[in-house]
Amino acid sequence: MQTTDTVLMIEPVAFGYNAQTAANNYFQIEQRGRDIQEKALQEFQGFVTKLQQKGIQVITVKDTLHPHTPDSIFPNNWVSFHRDGNVVLYPMFAPNRRVERRSDILDTLQSHGFRINKVDDWSSHEKNEKFLEGTGSMIFDHDHKIAYGSVSLRLDEHLFKKFCEAYHFRPVIFHSFQNANGERLPIYHTNVMMCVADRFVVICLDCIDNELEREKVQETIKSTGKEIIEISEDQLQQFAGNMLQVKNTTGEKFLIMSQTAYQSLKPTQVQAIEKHCEIISADLHTIETNGGGSARCMLAEVFLPKN
């Protein structure tokens, strides 16, 4: 099953620009002002409300002031929750993101009736400067057991292959780039350039510069029977690749994205998506600008079995 009806979201208490992640996240722009946290919290709450109104189950956990974790609003990088009851903890590039891993968050999920059989901790790879940032760096096609990964400082190719072997995914490895600082630089997370849904894939093929790699990714998607909905590099810069499909408690499916992403789409692209499911979009401007992540990054899918 590609989609879940439950997501974990972390409510920000001290959100802001993170200089440690800006080293290779070219989407981040530092905004000055004391009201950044306040605006981010408003956006967060508005987003949660929109999801809940559609019948999607949202488990929210409040961040802590200490240690200071400006990026905690993006939990999908440090943890993933699997159908077999496994919870995976991931090695993170930025030292101040490593302290986002909190065992009390796992306790919260258990208190909501979810079963955790095993915590599989990969964070020791940080010692060797090898990183694999969860469903930011890996995009799963659960139905076909395929994992797409764009190599960057936040996705170590060897570690990705090792993970795929352990979790029985077929790895599809490629390199994707964006124009930044007058150069062609690696995209920091795969989930800003592609989104895999149940019957379609939204992807920026133009950012896969190597023709053979681009063809391999296209062929793999086609072999699964999913429709390819292409976005441009300009739309990618507006977070149009950073989307997630979820369902509600009655099984209705939705594609979640930010208002910025939605406004960048052409009518034909919107129609192509709406053939398959309804779109939910939310204003996440402050979070996107300072954090360099968008709607998908804020959602950790919960696939865990229920007790």
Q: Which residues contact 164 (CB under 8 A, 6 or more apart)?
A: 147, 170, 171
Report pLDDT for 199. 98
Average pLDDT over residues 95-101: 95
Say whether pLDDT at 58 is over 80.
yes
Q: Which domains can be identified in the chain, with CATH numbers?
A: 6-301 (3.75.10.10)
Q: With a cut of 50, say whether residue 26 has pLDDT above it.
A: no
pLDDT band at 29 (very low <50, low <70, confident <90, very high): low
Is residue 91 predicted with pLDDT exceeding 70? yes
The pLDDT of residue 206 is 98
- Residue bearing the bigger pLDDT, 37 or 213: 213
The pLDDT value recorded for residue 125 is: 98
Contact 71, 18 (CB under 8 A): yes
Q: What is the mean pLDDT of residues 88-93?
A: 98
pLDDT tens readout for residues 250-269: 999 999 999 999 999 999 99
DSSP string, 176-228: -EEEETTEEEE-S-GGGTEEE-SSEEEE-GGG--SHHHHHHHHHHHHHTTPEE
CA nearest to 43, candidates 9, 19, 17: 9
pLDDT for the residue 17: 56
Handedness of CA 137, 140, 146, 148 (dihedral sign): negative
Residue 157: CB atoms within 10 A of its CB come to 15
Give the pLDDT of residue 79. Answer: 98
